[in-house]
Structure 1
Amino acid sequence: MADISRKPSTETLGTALLLSVVIGSGIMAERLARGHVAIALRANTLAAAGGLYVLIEVFGPVSGAHFDPAVSLGLAVCGAMPRSQAIPYIVAPLAPLAGAMFGAWLAHAMFDTSILQFSTKVRSGTGQWVAEIAATAGLLLVILRAPHGRIAAMVACYIAAAYWFTASTSFANPAAAFGRMFSDNFAGIAPSSGPGFVIAELAGAGIGPTIHKALRPAAIELP
């Protein structure tokens, strides 16, 4: 097992790379789609899902590849993660947030845009918040019930689907919501909309493990 002290730094790096994938692909999609939002969203979806799968496979053995405070909280609350392993995520909650912000800046640097910026894309309303609750609850449920060795693929597929079946395009991640505030492009979210998303995501993080417990015994492992 990896040294527990490396987990916060690994989560910071992984979250930074995840946000650079999401925001960078959003910038590229917006530029190439020339106003066709559906095409831009499709491109952003494919890049995000593919990047997420690879990052989980790469960083999972080191830190668990949460990249998401809601996931860390949900796993700790339901006992799916030993308390000793949860300590780095609890005592260093700013790690994924810092990573998310740096990821946004990295994407801006790659596309030669202003490094420091704030999103003006308002994402608010009951539908958006319900969508984030559902998206985050579903994400936790997938993580908790995925057969061994298939978490990366199932999470990537779920997020790709959730981009389209949720009104919010499935952030499902307080760190992602935070990082996207610092990018005024297709994938951004206005700072005024961030708190509503974070509250909804934390609510979903509590609902997902509750459903998991109600569905026990654990999912049958596929051959």
Structure 2
Amino acid sequence: MYTLPKKLGAEFLGTLLLLAIVIGSGVMAENLSEGNNGVALIANTLATVFGLYILIEVFAPISGAHFNPVVTLSMVLLKRQPSSELLPYILVQLVGAFCGAILVHQMFDMELLQFSEKARTGWGIWTGEIVATAGLLLVILMARQERVSGMVACYIGAAYWFTSSTSFANPAAAFGRLFSNSFAGIAPADVPAYMVFEVIGGLLALMIYKYFSNTATTAQPVPGIQQ
């Protein structure tokens, strides 16, 4: 068992690196794509998929590799994690996300503290965040444990493209990205709505998960299929 300070350290560092990957690859892609947003999004997606897989593999044994307040809240509601760890986890995730943005700006010789001017708002986008977050949480809860890292990374990669919001699916990510006026940024005024609809998506996923879990406990084995 890891102590709480080590868990919090893992969540801080993992969230920092996740935001550095998301924002940094967006900056690099924007610099190299010569204004082609499709190419930039492909590059941003690939970097996020590979980076997220590695981060989950590295930090999951220590903290669970949440990097996401909605994931932490869900684990507490499911009683898989002590409620006393909820606020400390969320706090270090938010601080880590902020530091990840600052780190990217330092690496690319940008102004360290900045705010995004990229508007992301509207019911279509908010619906996209519900779908993105609900899908992410369902993958985490329903996938086989040994496959979670790969399946989460693949889902996020797909959701970058099939959701209208490009799948933030993470209040900490939304918070960190407001501090970067780059390809991956989000205007500060739009962040609260993102967070609200991400939480709604998480709660929806919990309802779906509990429905199928209850069904699974009463279902009879199917002849010829290994249970």
User: For the superposition of Structure 1 and Structure 2, which TM-score range results when normalised by the shorter chain?
Assistant: over 0.9
Q: 1:145 aligns with which of 126, 142, 160?
A: 142
- Runs of 4+ displaced beyond 6 Å: none
Distance in 1 of aligned mates of 2:7 and 2:194 = 26
Q: Write the mapping of 1:71-220 to structure 2, written as runs, cut at 5 A.
A: 71-79=71-79, 81-83=80-82, 86-216=83-213, 217=216
Question: How many pairs were matched up?
Answer: 218
Superimposed CA distance per residue, residues 152-208 of structure 1 (whole angstroms, 9 cap, x where no aligned partner): 000000000000000000000000000000000000000000001000001111011
**Residue type matched to 1:187 in 2?**
A
TM-score by length of 1: 0.94
Shift of 1:37: 0.5
Distance in 1 of aligned mates of 2:20 and 2:211 = 36
- Cα RMSD (Å) of the superposition? 1.7
C-alpha change, 1:92 and 1:48, in structure 2 (3 Å) is closer
Distance in 1 of aligned mates of 2:8 and 2:58 = 15
Which residue does 2:2 correspond to in 1?
A: 2
TM-score by length of 2: 0.92
Structure with higher Rg: it is 2
Structure 2, unaligned runs of 5 or more: 218-225
Structure 1, unaligned runs of 5 or more: none
Superimposed CA distance per residue, residues 16-53 of structure 1 (whole angstroms, 9 cap, x where no aligned partner): 00000000000000011111111000000000111000
Identical residues among aligned pairs (%): 53
Distance in 2 of aligned mates of 1:46 and 1:72 = 25
3-state SS of paired residue (2:119): coil
